């Protein structure tokens, strides 16, 4: 069984495999699962720091595994103007529910009360299954991962990381 204790927010090395997990599983500090290529894996991470979609896990034997999000049942409330959308986000936030916020859309676990609240403000509810990658909270670190830079080649590395895609 592959074992993971180390997390990287990105790498320039080749990714060996991936694991596709739903939001509730990504929140766990101990995960027993199977990678997308069929390898058994045990993931052991710090409590309170959920795995993030796009994050890289490094196994004890040096393999790199990318975390992918699994589409799941969600409600996505879609707005057409920023003021109304902002009011809905305010009211949803006051209910201390887990939210994923995008440009004029907000996603949450299916809940008829929250859906009705959004609809009362004129937002449209889309119940299409989607990856749920909510905000981690305003007071936690946005990224508490190590930064691997083991390369067999040299290159310039600016603060902007231009040309590299990062999901946080």
Q: Are residues 7 and 41 in the same domain?
A: yes
- Cβ atoms 66, 35 nearer than 8 A: no
45 CB-near residues (< 8 Å, 6+ apart): 4, 5, 7, 29, 30, 51
Distance, CA of 146 to CA of 71 (rounded, Å): 27
- Cβ atoms 43, 30 nearer than 8 A: yes
- Residue located via tokens 């080649």: 153
pLDDT tens digits, residue range 90-130?
999 999 999 999 999 999 999 999 999 999 999 999 999 99
pLDDT tens digits, residue range 75-101?
999 999 999 999 999 999 999 999 999
Q: Are residues 63 and 81 in the same domain?
A: no
Q: Are residues 30 and 57 in the same domain?
A: yes
Q: Is residue 90 part of a domain?
A: yes
pLDDT tens digits, residue range 38-79?
999 999 999 988 999 999 999 999 999 999 999 999 999 999
- Does the structure show a pLDDT above 90 at 150? no
Across the range 120-146, mean pLDDT stands at 79
**Which CATH number is 35's domain given?**
2.60.260.20
- Does the structure show a pLDDT above 60 at 6? yes
Q: Are residues 7 and 59 in the same domain?
A: yes
User: Which residue range forms the structural domain that includes residue 89?
Assistant: 72-131
How many domains are there within the chain?
2
Burial level of 88, CB count in 10 A (0-12/13-18/19+)? buried
Burial level of 57, CB count in 10 A (0-12/13-18/19+)? buried
């Amino acid at each position: 069984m592959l074992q993971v204790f180390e997390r990287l927010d990105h790498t320039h090395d080749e990714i060996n495999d991936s694991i596709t997990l739903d939001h509730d599983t990504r929140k766990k500090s101990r995960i027993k699962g199977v990678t997308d290529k069929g390898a058994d894996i045990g993931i052991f991470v710090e409590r309170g720091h959920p795995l993030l979609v796009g994050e890289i896990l490094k196994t004890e034997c040096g393999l790199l595994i990318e975390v992918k999000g699994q589409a799941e049942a969600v409600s996505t409330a879609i707005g057409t103007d920023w003021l109304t959308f902002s009011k809905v986000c305010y009211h949803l936030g006051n209910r201390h529910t887990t939210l994923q916020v995008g440009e004029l859309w907000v996603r949450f676990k299916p809940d008829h009360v929250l859906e009705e609240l959004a609809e009362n403000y004129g937002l449209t509810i889309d119940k299409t299954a989607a990856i749920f990658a909510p905000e981690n909270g305003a007071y936690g670190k946005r990224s508490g991962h190590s930064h691997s830079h083991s390369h067999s080649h040299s290159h310039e590395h600016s603060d902007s990381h231009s040309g590299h895609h990062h999901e946080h």
